[in-house]
Structure 1
Amino acid sequence: MVFPADPPPPFRETAEHDGWPVELFAHTRETFESFVDREVALRRSPLLHMCAKGTLLFAHSGLGEWACSTARERFAAGPPPLSQVELEDARYRVTDLLDDPAGATDPDDLLFIADRLLTTTAELVLSVRGRWLGHGKWLLRRLRDADPGLCSELLASYRRLVVSNDSAPFRRTVSAVIDTVGGRLLVGYRRPPV
């Protein structure tokens, strides 16, 4: 994170230093707040996490200290709670995917379906529990931190599906998860077009 004295932030730039890739995220106070607000609304804020958990290397204007302090407070507060509509939407997304593995005849289809179902289920669990979301390894780390037992069960059943094309344990695990948040939601679900 960089707060340059002479804008034109915001910008992102990837450079190299001593053979290592270095990502620069340049902001003003206003653009930092705007980016964080947008990310927080999505319950996934890499920028907030970076500033809350990272190390301030040097600061001249006080903005670095302010960004770190603000980020620590907002990150500790957690993401906004799910609204009832958002919970229904999440339940619908999981339900919509849940029966697809049983009907998949192409093992490659099964891999893509299962990948999406794993991600969607993890996001549902974290959102309902008021935890931050993530992508890739960060989604795994956050799920593992929130519920190590469930994470292990999801991963074990997912691996079994990937290795042996046996989707039954994975579907049972996901079904148990959706049952804890109100059950499946398909028939009767209605939303206006986006």
Structure 2
Amino acid sequence: MSTQNKLPPIEAAQQFINKHFPDSQGALLAGSVVRGEATETSDLDIIIFEKNIRTSYRESLIDIGWAIEVFVHNLASYKLFFESDRKRAKPSLPRMISEGIVLQDHGIIDSIKKEAQELLENGPEKWSVETIKTKRYFITDALDDFIGCSNRAEELFIANTLAELVSEFYLRTNNQWIGTSKWLVRSLRHYDEAFAEKIIEAFDDYYKSGEKSQVIQLVDSILLPFGGRLFDGFSLGKSGNNT
């Protein structure tokens, strides 16, 4: 969507609130336009707190010359999302609320922002020993497929899977937040810029040249502190079937 003739994001978001949610308890503008990372295709991410809704909902629409994504919550539903985000280690809503610019507030936003910031600072739910073991197995499985594959088309998709698995493993075993798509790279860079560049270089070299050695060495170095590759002796769900 062209940025020509668009209102500035804060002004557009404020008009949207005044038009569609004039009686909300609170509203925030978040996303790339707030972080100074907006692109030609960026939209407005707006979080609304409404007391007269039974369940939360999300809606996408075009209004006031902008693509807008609206996340509507009551004062109970956002807490459920906070807990879900903590467990899955992807703090979408807490991050938006923490960084958000206040558009409307009837005395609730400060405490919700504080709650979001504390959640972000405390980090995600830690992985158990069993979870780490299971993740090692699936990374090993993907790595073996990657090493043994000679079909370029299949290799590309295996490499994509492997990149996501090892990035998740590195972050989660260091008790860090993760993300999806661009947020996975951002999470790596936020935690460890040097490692982020290392993993980007390894996979970029593979995509350009087809050379797998850097990727293999990188994956092995990530698994090594936790026992290395895992295949022999791995079992999932067997104990519940013992008689």
When the two structures are superposed, what TM-score results if normalisation uses the length of structure 2?
A: 0.75
- What does residue 95 of structure 1 align with? 140
**Would you tell me which structure has more strand in proportion to its own residues?**
2
Whether the aligned pair in 1 keeps the contact of 2:137 and 2:234 (CA below 8 Å) is: yes
Residues 20-47 of structure 1 show CA distances to partners (whole Å, capped at 9, x for unaligned) of 2111111112111111111211111201
Q: Does 1:159 align with 2:204?
A: yes
Shift of 1:6: 2.1
Whether the aligned pair in 1 keeps the contact of 2:98 and 2:114 (CA below 8 Å) is: yes
Aligned with 2:49: secondary structure? coil
Shift of 1:175: 0.9
- What does residue 148 of structure 1 align with? 193
Aligned with 1:56: secondary structure? strand
Instruction: Name which one, 1 or 2, has greater alpha-carbon Rg.
Output: 2
Q: Give % identity.
A: 27
Aligned with 1:185: secondary structure? coil
Shift of 1:94: 1.1
- What does residue 47 of structure 1 align with? 93
Distance in 1 (alpha carbons) for counterparts of 2:218 and 2:65 = 44
The aligned length equals: 193
Higher relative contact order (CA 8 A, sep 6+): 1
**Would you tell me which structure has more helix in proportion to its own residues?**
1
Distance in 2 (alpha carbons) for counterparts of 1:2 and 1:9 = 12
Identify which of 4, 12, 20 aligns with 2:66: 20
- 126-135 vs 34-43, which moves further: 34-43
When the two structures are superposed, what TM-score results if normalisation uses the length of structure 1?
A: 0.93
Q: Which amino acid aligns with 2:186?
A: R
Identify which of 77, 86, 89 aligns with 2:122: 77
Shift of 1:133: 0.7
Q: Any gaps of 5 or more consecutive residues in structure 1?
A: none
Shift of 1:4: 1.4
Shift of 1:141: 0.8
Query: Which 4+ residue blocks in structure 1 deviate beyond 3 angstroms?
Result: none
Identify which of 102, 109, 115 aligns with 1:64: 109
Whether the aligned pair in 2 keeps the contact of 1:14 and 1:23 (CA below 8 Å) is: yes
Residues 32-75 of structure 1 show CA distances to partners (whole Å, capped at 9, x for unaligned) of 11111112111112011111222222212x33333211101111
Q: Any gaps of 5 or more consecutive residues in structure 2?
A: 1-46, 239-243
Distance in 1 (alpha carbons) for counterparts of 2:120 and 2:192 = 19
